[in-house]
Amino acid sequence: MTDEQEPEGFVFPCDYQVKAMGLDDGLFKDVVVEILSKHCHKIDHDRIECVASKNGKYISVRVTIEAQSKEHLDCIYDELTAHEKVLMRL
């Protein structure tokens, strides 16, 4: 595989669900959407899902975006990983 080929299974641009988990402090969803907004032309708010943990302490935010390339996803995940409120990203 050359550097210009995309990973097997992905044809860009494509829909891709970004997932991040953090403490459910009432602001975590906004943090995730703000980070994604820096990297994505448009965030469709109908494609945002939030799921609270059983005890309500944590929340999973899932946002379906249009991924442009592997590098695009890498930039998103790098910024999510660097943010102090993001405990896990998938």
Report residue 9's pLDDT band, with 50, 70 and 90 as the boundaries. Answer: confident
List the CATH number of the domain containing 62.
3.30.70.260
Instruction: Answer yes or no: is 9 within a domain.
Output: no
Note the pLDDT tens digit of each residue in 77-88.
999 999 999 999
Give the per-residue pLDDT at 5: 56
Residue 6 lies in a domain: no
Q: Is 9 left (phi over 0), alpha (psi -120 to 50) or beta?
A: left
| Residue 23 located in a structural domain | yes
Q: What is the pLDDT of residue 53?
A: 97
As a whole number of angstroms, the distance between CA 38 and CA 76 comes to 9
Domain count, the chain: 1
* Mean pLDDT, all residues of the chain: 93
Residue 1 has pLDDT above 60, yes or no: no
48, part of any domain: yes
Question: What's the domain range around 19?
Answer: 14-89
Predicted structure pTM score:
0.87
